[in-house]
Amino acid sequence: MSKRIGVIGIVIDEPKIVGDKVNSVISAFSHLIIGRMGIPRNDAHVGVIALIIEGTTDEVGSFTGKLGRIPGVNVKSALTAKTTIEEEHQND
């Protein structure tokens, strides 16, 4: 499958409550992450994380799906149309 570069935006309500779960999922998919920026807004009880990623659409879908199932977490992703790496197809 081909890989694409993209961004995942994560907004976390009450990060002190669910932040550990979010970080656990991010760690599980760390092989996809090129860069990460996190902005805590303690005064608003909100956290924002931006991830630059590279992966297949299946990998990105699995990643964002797991994040989106955490209560109080909103996730959006955008991927480039251009593929970056194609795995070699093996002969049958």
- Rounded CA-CA distance 47/44 in Å is 9
pTM listed for this prediction: 0.86
pLDDT tens string 48-72: 999 999 999 999 999 999 999 999 9
pLDDT tens string 16-47: 999 999 999 999 999 999 999 999 998 999 99
Closest CA to 52 of 76, 33, 31: 33
Three-state SS letters, 40-75: EEHHHCEEEEEEEEEECHHHHHHHHHHHHCCCCEEE
CATH of domain 2-82: 3.30.70.1150
Q: How far apart are the first and last CA of the chain?
A: 16
Task: Name the residue ranges covered by the structural domains of the chain.
Answer: 2-82
